[in-house]
Chain A
């Protein structure tokens, strides 16, 4: 188990996660677009926001892989299944708290349940389990994160 393996897993896992979400977009299962949500925190220009968002998304993907690696190291084991379990927890946490509650509070262009008539945010809040972006969004988001976790866990275990 090496840090390089975890980072490789983070990179490939984020590629897979992004592709799954994008495919779900095209299949009209969800309006969730993580790079767009992240990028619009930095820029109000939609095209620029997407470009910046993809970079940020990959940075976060690598950062989370390091977090996974730290836990794998602490418990002394890693693997595809354990990584998938971490991905499941990660996906549930992202759907219920990270993107649903925390992101609207820090995102300068996103509304939250506390936004009042004095403001005109550009982005609708995701709602509980991200369901404002389509009722199938939680399933898609959790499945994508399970895939991400599995890849990080698997490549961490294979390395070294």
Chain B
């Protein structure tokens, strides 16, 4: 996955979202632009305030620039099977390579979080300039600047960052510098980050060893993956992207690494995705199992069952990585990506009723049990309570999978997933993984839900399941219900796939739905839906068509194999990135096409 392209142009100081690669350490993620600027880094954790947020405000957000002074072309890749990014700059006078990593913890005294940028001269000479502009607290914190042992330090409250520059021509105050590479030369810039503890300033030997070890840990993790189907490189890159979104201290999987990257440039559909959505749970667990990640699957399921304990039998739509309710949604005084305001943190959708989440959770439990894991009595009791809740509440209108902010409705996909929830609960009860006493009641209610869906949520005119009861609008979300087992082998499944393929698509890209959702503005095509359509086509036997679409979708990733949430009409990335659901859907679609082809 190596492409040489001209240096990316910024518009009003903002790099195209497609230009960003992600690096991370299992606690936080940084975004690195093709021009060498790190424009996003929350610290210490992914849902913490940022030290760099230039992607959301080019003036106040803060960034870490590292760029050749002369005109350049860029070649970029991840070091094979790692999340270590390599950016090679070619100028008229020579070439040099920048390797970026958030290093992984090991033994010994090391910074709380550490960003390493290693520069090597490859040929001729390249003159670089660099500048670190830390802006803690989303650019809003009152900061103190000083120095320790001659190294620059910035602090605010319990947070501090320091810069170590080795052979990098640091200026007197230490926050910027310039240097020239020569063939074989080596230069190092390090950001040491502290939170509620003193800063640690490692020496060169320790830094080298940790960088080496970081690459080795990533390679070892990738080598352990067992996926052997088609599009293997793209699947492994998606697995590595997904691993960046696993919050290692708790095992939670975050939806995306950013907040408020817009669904339309200049628009107001800007949301904070740094939470773990129950909606993604079944895909997540299935992906972990398919990739041969039993440890991650188990950790995730334990986290899921612990986290949902306090609200049971209700489910929140999303939780923080620590298992808490997300903070109330609020707006930050930032300009937003290319003027896309507001910039939000927190997420008001957390308190919505989304009935589909129960189906996802029960499907997840089913997959967990099918993989040979034990559902203990506590989990069993709680899952039974969830099933009872669905049986008693499926008739309630909800906000649906797409979290519309308009009036709740009888969304078809929600009903389908309620049926899936009760079917799976009954199946788990049959194998004594859930209490048996309500099994018949669950089956009766599942049949009632099917009756509702088949009589009120299918349009003979559109020859498709529709977005909500008695409506005529289409919704690609119903594909998810079908993929999770609602209506297996039904002729209506085929016709719905056909209708969505004909009416919600723009080439290989699929839009989520037609109609109003309570938020002004429009959005791009939704990548996860595009992959769901591939999977659905494979499931109904249209394997060649599915494979062709898959080839095209794989080609729509950015130069390092990452995807955002959506893609705009000219191929631009839109929405938060890297987007877990896009990568999960890619893994699932690739596996489904592989299985259908076998």
List chain A positions with a Cβ less than 8 A from chain B.
28-31, 46-47, 111-125, 127, 131-135
- A118–B296 contact, CB under 8 A? no
Which of chain A's residues has its CB closest to B299's CB?
Answer: A120
CA distance A135 to B252 in the complex (A): 19
- A115–B298 contact, CB under 8 A? no
- B26–A116 contact, CB under 8 A? yes
Question: How far apart are B334's CB and chain A's nearest CB, in angstroms?
Answer: 27
Q: List 28 A-B contacts (CB under 8 A).
A: A29-B310, A31-B307, A31-B323, A47-B376, A47-B377, A111-B249, A111-B250, A112-B249, A114-B112, A115-B27, A115-B248, A115-B249, A116-B104, A117-B24, A117-B217, A117-B221, A120-B246, A121-B250, A121-B251, A121-B299, A122-B302, A124-B251, A124-B252, A124-B306, A124-B323, A131-B322, A133-B323, A135-B324
Question: How far apart are A28's CB and chain B's nearest CB, in angstroms?
Answer: 5
Given contacts A30-B310, A46-B376, contact A122 B246 (CB under 8 A): no
- A28–B246 contact, CB under 8 A? no
Question: Which residues on the A side are within 8 Å of B324 (C-beta)?
Answer: 131-132, 135
B312 within 8 A of A: yes
Question: How far apart are A74's CB and chain B's nearest CB, in angstroms?
Answer: 33
Question: Which residues on the A side are within 8 Å of B246 (C-beta)?
Answer: 117, 120
Tell me which of A121, A131, A135 has the highest count of chain B C-beta atoms within 10 A of its own C-beta: A121
Question: Which residues on the A side are within 8 Å of B302 (C-beta)?
Answer: 122-123
Which of chain B's residues has its CB closest to A128's CB?
Answer: B196
Question: Which residues on the B side are within 8 Å of A117 (C-beta)?
Answer: 24-26, 83, 104, 217-218, 221, 243-244, 246, 248
- B299–A116 contact, CB under 8 A? no
Q: Count of B residues near A, CB < 8 Å?
A: 43
Tell which of B112, B252, B299, B306 touches A31, judged by Cβ atoms closer than 8 Å. B306
* Cβ-closest 8 pairs across A and B: A117-B26, A111-B249, A124-B250, A132-B322, A120-B295, A118-B217, A116-B104, A116-B105
- B309–A31 contact, CB under 8 A? yes
Question: Which residues on the B side are within 8 Å of A29 (C-beta)?
Answer: 310
Question: How far apart are B364's CB and chain A's nearest CB, in angstroms?
Answer: 16
Given contacts A28-B312, A31-B306, A131-B324, contact A118 B221 (CB under 8 A): yes
Which of chain A's residues has its CB closest to B216's CB?
Answer: A118
List chain B positions with a Cβ less than 8 A from chain A.
24-27, 44-45, 83, 104-105, 112, 195, 217-218, 221, 243-244, 246, 248-252, 293, 295-296, 298-299, 302-303, 306-307, 309-312, 321-324, 374, 376-378
- A119–B322 contact, CB under 8 A? no
Question: Which residues on the B side are within 8 Å of A46 (C-beta)?
Answer: 374, 376, 378
How many A-B residue pairs have C-beta atoms within 8 angstroms? Tell me.
Answer: 102
Question: How far apart are A21's CB and chain B's nearest CB, in angstroms?
Answer: 14
Question: Which residues on the A side are within 8 Å of B298 (C-beta)?
Answer: 120, 122
Given contacts A28-B312, A31-B309, A46-B378, contact A120 B323 (CB under 8 A): no
CA distance A111 to B25 in the complex (A): 14
CA distance A30 to B311 in the complex (A): 10
- A122–B311 contact, CB under 8 A? no
Question: Which residues on the B side are within 8 Å of A28 (C-beta)?
Answer: 309-312
Question: Which residues on the A side are within 8 Å of B248 (C-beta)?
Answer: 111, 115-121
Query: Which label, helix, strand, loop or mixed, suits the secondary structure of the B interface?
Result: loop
Question: How far apart are A80's CB and chain B's nearest CB, in angstroms?
Answer: 32
Question: Which residues on the A side are within 8 Å of B311 (C-beta)?
Answer: 28
Which of chain B's residues has its CB closest to A45's CB?
Answer: B374
CA distance A76 to B17 in the complex (A): 70
Question: Which residues on the A side are within 8 Å of B296 (C-beta)?
Answer: 120
Given contacts A116-B104, A117-B24, A121-B251, 5 further A-B contacts (CB under 8 A): A112-B249, A116-B27, A121-B299, A124-B321, A124-B322
Question: Which residues on the B side are within 8 Å of A114 (C-beta)?
Answer: 105, 112
CA distance A145 to B323 in the complex (A): 24
- B25–A116 contact, CB under 8 A? yes
Question: How far apart are B382's CB and chain A's nearest CB, in angstroms?
Answer: 11
Tell which of A30, A115, A133, A135 touches B105, judged by Cβ atoms closer than 8 Å. A115
Question: How far apart are A133's CB and chain B's nearest CB, in angstroms?
Answer: 7
CA distance A46 to B379 in the complex (A): 10
- A125–B104 contact, CB under 8 A? no
CA distance A55 to B25 in the complex (A): 37
Question: Which residues on the B side are within 8 Å of A125 (C-beta)?
Answer: 249-250, 322
CA distance A120 to B243 in the complex (A): 10
Which of chain A's residues has its CB closest to B104's CB?
Answer: A116
Question: Which residues on the B side are within 8 Å of A115 (C-beta)?
Answer: 26-27, 105, 248-249
- B323–A132 contact, CB under 8 A? yes
Question: How far apart are B293's CB and chain A's nearest CB, in angstroms?
Answer: 8
Question: Which residues on the A side are within 8 Å of B323 (C-beta)?
Answer: 31, 124, 132-133
CA distance A28 to B299 in the complex (A): 22
Tell me which of A115, A116, A134 has the highest count of chain B C-beta atoms within 10 A of its own C-beta: A116
Which of chain A's residues has its CB closest to B196's CB?
Answer: A113
CA distance A29 to B309 in the complex (A): 10
Question: How far apart are B192's CB and chain A's nearest CB, in angstroms?
Answer: 14
Question: How far apart are A15's CB and chain B's nearest CB, in angstroms?
Answer: 21
Question: How far apart are A48's CB and chain B's nearest CB, in angstroms?
Answer: 10
CA distance A31 to B244 in the complex (A): 27
- A124–B249 contact, CB under 8 A? yes
CA distance A71 to B458 in the complex (A): 74
Which of chain A's residues has its CB closest to B252's CB?
Answer: A124
Tell me which of B217, B310, B321 has the highest count of chain A C-beta atoms within 10 A of its own C-beta: B310
Which of chain B's residues has its CB closest to A123's CB?
Answer: B302
Question: How far apart are B320's CB and chain A's nearest CB, in angstroms?
Answer: 8
CA distance A120 to B298 in the complex (A): 9
Question: Which residues on the A side are within 8 Å of B217 (C-beta)?
Answer: 117-118
Question: Which residues on the B side are within 8 Å of A134 (C-beta)?
Answer: 310
